[in-house]
Chains A and B, each alone.
Chain A
Amino acid sequence: MNTPILQMRGITKTFPGVKALQDVTLDVNRGEVHAICGENGAGKSTLMKVLSGVYPHSSFDGEILFENEPGNFSSITDSEKRGIVIIHQELALSPYLSIAENIYLGNEQAKNGWVDWRKTNLEAAKLLARVGLSENPVTPVQHISVGKQQLVEIAKALSKEVKLLILDEPTAALNDEDSGHLLDLILHLKGQGVTSIIISHKLNEIRKVADAVTIIRDGKTIETLRLDEGQITQERIIRGMVGRDLESLYPDRDPKIGEEVLRIQDWSVRHPQDHTRMVVSNASLNVRKGEVVGLAGLMGAGRTELAMSVFGRTYGTATSGKVLKHGKEINTSTVSDAIGHGIAYATEDRKLYGLNLIEDIKRNVSLAALRKLVKNGWVDKNEETVVANGYRKSMNIKAPSVAAITGKLSGGNQQKVVLSKWMFSDPDVLILDEPTRGIDVGAKYEIYTIIAKLAAEGKAVIVISSELPELLGICDRIYTLSAGLVTGEVPIAQASQENLMHLMTKEKE
């Protein structure tokens, strides 16, 4: 019964400066559903990219045996030929093409170079029946819901005679009903002999479908739990996911917490495209003077969405809720209103949303509060240089001068430029979204020190982070979000990785 279909041995993948995977082992048996669990950034997606040939065979160490033969894939086409198909979290469908065209995209049912539409649509209809999707194959993909699009992706995989189906967070963008349907389909395909690997954070889903769970943490395999040995329990998975030691990577703080500065009350946000989906529902939280408050949650929990929605409605549609500052309701419906009320938001993706990478440090630093530098109608460039130089020294931005182009700085120094920009706008509340993402350990410590300093200066700081140890290291209080709901508020003294993870994976009652 338990014949292995896939064996990955000693997989080590190094990026410049970072070991993303270290001696990872993965054994998947034929005909099972195998879940891979781990925190954001643990290396799950990297492992799947190694398996599917996105990272070619020569770029990593270790061996892959697929159906007892070496799987030395040099591209995704290679792995697909052997029957390994990966479905990414962001669906790779062309919205204007029909379902059938999407299914056979790159694999057109053609005769002598001309597409055989009859065959395309007939075969597509058969595949749709297999995945239980009752849609006309000629319907454009943009006219069906995300859940159904996910099924089209699976039908596409089936058209390639898939033996091993890899699903990367397949339900992250789906509502409960569609998620349920998708999980049923995975079990149904298992009955037809398709082996699946599913990457997921959602423990109830894992319990529902998985025959085995492999836990990855910090790029290493922790253990593989098997259902038939009774090992798959929530406790054990959580322990595996978070069970690393807290190192003393955080500066000491002596928090002096004052009165409440900002309160968000009953805040609800709808998804910008799919208005039936609530991304955040009735979230309430507050932050006080001199306090560092953490927002913990897994992918799709709605942390960034909540923050951006409050900060000038830059995400989704806010349906209800109030923002109060010092107890008085304020209007934050545009970014400049939010900034005007002393709120700053440093985005999680500095390169896309945080910096003008072709511009120099001083102009990035001054952008959010340029009007402070205006004298007699003109920007005082000398003052600007003085200001930027001040931050370069106080934030320890490593650059030859403030005229250096930000695109050429390292991640840590770019983040310091972003923080300088917001500090110059002199906010009362700073929302920092993943402030240490993609930054090396040394620079992380500097960022934590800056956060501690800001709090000591009496700012109210909200930190959104996927790294629990980080939140435990720097926060005074932590809120947990799960599926758009605030599921807990934990003072730091009572917080541990385990109880936070419990709250972060808590399901709707």
Chain B
Amino acid sequence: MSALRESLGFLTSRLRQVGIFVALILIVLLFQGLTGGILLEPQNVTNLVVQNSYILILAIGMVMVIIAGHIDLSVGSVAGFIGAVAGVMIVHWGWPWWAAIPACLLVGALVGAWQGYWIAYVGIPAFIVTLAGMLIFRGLTLITLKNQQITPFPAELRALGGGFLPDISGGTSALEWLTVILGVGATVALLIQALKERRIRKKFDLESEPLMWFVIKTAFTAFLMLIITFLLASYRGTPIVLIVLAGLVIVYTALMNNSVFGRHTYAIGGNLHAAELSGVKTKAVTFRLFVNMGVLAALAGLVFTARLNSAQPAGGTGFELDSIAAAFIGGAAVTGGIGTVAGAMIGGLIMGVLNNGMSILGLGTDYQQLIKGLVLLLAVGFDIFNKNRSGGGSSLGKRFKLKTTPPATEPAAPANERPLTVAAGSGQGRPERNS
């Protein structure tokens, strides 16, 4: 009984993380019902993965940028631009795919460096720089393509968007065995990792998660992974882009949690001044974040182009909004400092299932946009409401509190000397600094 109460207490303390997970499942079940089971048919699940892969790739970079307290509005245009560049390189110039892909990623890095320079070193807010970038790179896309689509691409590149891992049974089995092996392997690895981490947390007395919730959560996640494995295996197996995406999620999760760079990103978003005064090179970190975003936008552009088998003038339009929405639905804080790659993936999947489900139902883009907009608003609204309730410090919450009890720190000499000059606007600039 007490274990149950403990579990409930824990769940309410992590309402956000649990809530989003539950929301995804409910949305899946809802559309499964509404579409009469089409949503979870093997072919549709495969589509769902492939269709959303480029948004998910963008969401990885986007959530990092948002954690640092910035935003990137240009990723859709950059993805379109890279698609155009790939078209010119491969179709017009005849470059082989293995040369064109790294070259495209490099162009993406340069694009990111360009924007990162203005944001980090000049101190223009990211909102403005990337809004400009949205126009600049859309313009460059049109110029590069001379307003016409480029097609077709070689099969090797197309595999990045729509290809599958080879069928090792040679088409004799109902299930793709390679997919089953990978899926079961990944599930086992996940279980081992979860147990290992829990053991370490126990060892250092940091465990706050009740055993019951841990078991339910881990078992359920494993169960979901196995179901998805089964569904993919009973269609055409593992999409290549899923392998790419899984690799990115693993690497970037580790990067954000366990690398100096990732830690500095959270520190900047959490309190820029404190980070700067702790010796974090805030400008360099910001710059690198945007370079990284550029590379991921380039990758997303390649995947998208590969899937369509054409580089199009309007390619990538609106991707920025979907990836930003994914990050926020996935629990990133508008004020920075909070967010996870895994959360952004779930957020992206929620958007993806909504898109896919509503398309199957035959709802037009008019209603799709309306509903997606409302979902985003509700998700972030729920977050803010939750924070206020727990006394987390929105202006509204503070105002209510002030009426009853003024903050205890008040009587101590008011902080009149506040000479710090670090950071204005996007926060990186120290204009008065001597050179």
Residues of A within 8 A of B (CB): 13, 15-18, 20, 40-41, 43, 45-46, 55, 59, 89-90, 169, 172, 219, 272-273, 279, 299-300, 304-305, 308, 311-319, 334-336, 338-339, 345, 347-349, 352-359, 363, 366-368, 370-371, 374, 377-379, 381-382, 385-386, 389, 401-403, 407, 411, 421, 425, 437-438, 466
Query: How many residue-residue contacts, CB under 8 A, span A and B?
Result: 166
- List, sorted by A's number, 27 A–B pairs whose CB atoms are closer than 8 Å: A15-B407, A20-B411, A41-B412, A41-B413, A219-B411, A305-B417, A305-B419, A308-B419, A308-B420, A312-B277, A314-B421, A315-B421, A316-B432, A335-B276, A335-B277, A339-B279, A355-B271, A356-B266, A356-B274, A356-B275, A358-B333, A358-B338, A368-B279, A385-B206, A389-B204, A402-B204, A403-B206
Nearest A residue (CB) for B276: A335
Known: A313-B434, A317-B432, A356-B270. A437 touches B408 (CB 8 A): no
CB neighbours of A40 from chain B (8 A): 413
A423 to B177, CA, bound (A): 55
Task: Determine whether B9 belongs to the interface, using a CB cutoff of 8 Å to chain A.
Answer: no
A347 to B417, CA, bound (A): 11
CB neighbours of B275 from chain A (8 A): 356, 367
Task: Determine whether B422 belongs to the interface, using a CB cutoff of 8 Å to chain A.
Answer: yes
Task: Determine whether B216 belongs to the interface, using a CB cutoff of 8 Å to chain A.
Answer: no
The interface bits of chain B over 403-433 (1 if a CB of A lies within 8 angstroms of the residue's CB, else 0) are 0011111111111111111100000001011
Min distance, Cβ B390 to any Cβ of chain A, angstroms: 10
Task: Determine whether B273 belongs to the interface, using a CB cutoff of 8 Å to chain A.
Answer: yes
Known: A315-B419, A367-B267, A411-B409. 15 other contacts (CB 8 A): A16-B408, A20-B410, A299-B417, A304-B419, A314-B420, A318-B434, A335-B279, A339-B279, A352-B274, A359-B337, A363-B267, A366-B263, A378-B254, A385-B204, A407-B393
A437 to B274, CA, bound (A): 18
CB neighbours of B278 from chain A (8 A): 335, 339, 367-368, 421
Q: Are B337 and A356 in contact (CB under 8 A)?
A: yes
Of B204, B258, B422, B433, which one neighbours A378 at CB under 8 angstroms? B258
Task: Determine whether B205 belongs to the interface, using a CB cutoff of 8 Å to chain A.
Answer: yes
Q: 6 closest pairs, A vs B, by CB?
A: A41-B413, A20-B411, A356-B270, A272-B432, A438-B412, A368-B278
Q: Are A379 and B263 in contact (CB under 8 A)?
A: yes
Q: Are A349 and B259 in contact (CB under 8 A)?
A: no
Residues of B within 8 A of A (CB): 200, 204-206, 208, 254, 257-260, 263-264, 266-267, 270-271, 273-281, 333, 337-338, 393, 405-422, 430, 432-434
Min distance, Cβ B100 to any Cβ of chain A, angstroms: 30
A272 to B429, CA, bound (A): 13
A319 to B407, CA, bound (A): 39
Q: Are B204 and A386 in contact (CB under 8 A)?
A: yes
Nearest A residue (CB) for B262: A379
Q: Are B200 and A382 in contact (CB under 8 A)?
A: yes
Nearest B residue (CB) for A403: B206
CB neighbours of B410 from chain A (8 A): 15, 20, 46
Nearest B residue (CB) for A464: B417
Min distance, Cβ B406 to any Cβ of chain A, angstroms: 6
CB neighbours of B337 from chain A (8 A): 356, 358-359
Known: A355-B271, A382-B204. A169 touches B416 (CB 8 A): yes
A315 to B266, CA, bound (A): 24
Q: Are A46 and B411 in contact (CB under 8 A)?
A: yes
Min distance, Cβ A442 to any Cβ of chain B, angstroms: 15
Q: Are A466 and B413 in contact (CB under 8 A)?
A: yes
Min distance, Cβ A245 to any Cβ of chain B, angstroms: 21
Min distance, Cβ A422 to any Cβ of chain B, angstroms: 9
CB neighbours of B413 from chain A (8 A): 40-41, 437, 466
A421 to B275, CA, bound (A): 12
Q: Are A348 and B415 in contact (CB under 8 A)?
A: yes
Q: Are B417 and A300 in contact (CB under 8 A)?
A: yes
Q: Are A353 and B267 in contact (CB under 8 A)?
A: no
Of A59, A304, A317, which one neighbours B406 at CB under 8 angstroms? A59
Known: A381-B258, A385-B204, A437-B413. A356 touches B267 (CB 8 A): yes
Q: Which of A313, A314, A349, A382 has the most CB of B within 10 A?
A: A314
Q: Are B277 and A354 in contact (CB under 8 A)?
A: yes
CB neighbours of B434 from chain A (8 A): 313, 317-319
Min distance, Cβ B17 to any Cβ of chain A, angstroms: 15
Min distance, Cβ B278 to any Cβ of chain A, angstroms: 4
A17 to B406, CA, bound (A): 12
CB neighbours of A345 from chain B (8 A): 277
Nearest A residue (CB) for B278: A368
CB neighbours of A389 from chain B (8 A): 204-205
Min distance, Cβ A450 to any Cβ of chain B, angstroms: 19
Nearest B residue (CB) for A172: B416
A329 to B412, CA, bound (A): 38
A370 to B278, CA, bound (A): 10
Nearest A residue (CB) for B264: A370
Min distance, Cβ B400 to any Cβ of chain A, angstroms: 15
A361 to B106, CA, bound (A): 39
Q: Which of A279, A315, A356, A366 has the most CB of B within 10 A?
A: A356
CB neighbours of A377 from chain B (8 A): 259
A89 to B206, CA, bound (A): 46
CB neighbours of B266 from chain A (8 A): 356, 359, 363
Q: Which of A300, A345, A359 has the most CB of B within 10 A?
A: A359
Q: Which of A55, A219, A353 has the most CB of B within 10 A?
A: A353
Nearest B residue (CB) for A49: B410
Q: Are A363 and B263 in contact (CB under 8 A)?
A: yes
CB neighbours of B204 from chain A (8 A): 382, 385-386, 389, 402
